[in-house]
Amino acid sequence: MRYTWEVSKNLSNLSVVAIMTPAKTNPKTLYATDYLKWIETTTAKLRDRDYDGIDWENLIEELDDMGRSERRSLKSNVIVILLHLLKWQFQPEYRTGSWEGSIIEHRGRVRDLLKDSPSLVPYLETILSECYGRAVEQAKAETRLPIATFPEFCPYAIDQITEDRFLPK
């Protein structure tokens, strides 16, 4: 903790007293110089209801970033699931436990995200076709199969994508 020194002169006693007090930290400066300390300070101020001392601009930005991060994570995990389902379906001769393990792992992540944030369910419905397109591109690159090998539209329902027991034939 940084401290500032205040010097007080008491003219009637002709004495000088030095008082050490914690330095006030600008929350915006703290955000740029010590992110963890900024979080701790911000949460303490929220708990204490010290709303005037909150760095609202950066707090709002962080909350927005958290939402974007959750959506990116969902999208990334769905793409991995779709990629491995496509490889499983269209390259049965190369099926491995690692593909199945990856499907199981990423399904778990998706289920956790949807359980923690049910509002992501409608978002999943809106991004499914984009995720499928990206998975097809990646599957084409990894399998060296012609893109026409893969269905134009996602052949898997959301419950098939998220359910552990489903593997395409």
How high is the pLDDT of residue 2? 43
As a whole number of angstroms, the distance between CA 70 and CA 82 comes to 18
Between the two ends of the chain, the Cα-to-Cα distance in Å is 63
pTM of whole model > 0.75? no
As a whole number of angstroms, the distance between CA 86 and CA 167 comes to 10
- Which burial class, exposed, middle or buried, applies to 132 when counting CB atoms under 10 A from its CB (0-12, 13-18, 19+)? buried
Domain boundaries, the chain: 3-54, 67-162
| Residue 14: band (very low, low, confident or very high) from pLDDT cuts 50, 70, 90 | very low
With beta carbons less than 8 A apart as the criterion, state whether 75 and 161 touch: no
Task: Identify which has the larger pLDDT, 162 or 26.
Answer: 162
As a whole number of angstroms, the distance between CA 143 and CA 93 comes to 12
With beta carbons less than 8 A apart as the criterion, state whether 65 and 38 touch: no
As a whole number of angstroms, the distance between CA 120 and CA 68 comes to 11
Assess whether pLDDT exceeds 50 at residue 17.
no
How high is the pLDDT of residue 5? 43
For the stretch 59-99, pLDDT in tens is: 889 888 888 899 999 999 999 999 999 999 999 999 989 99
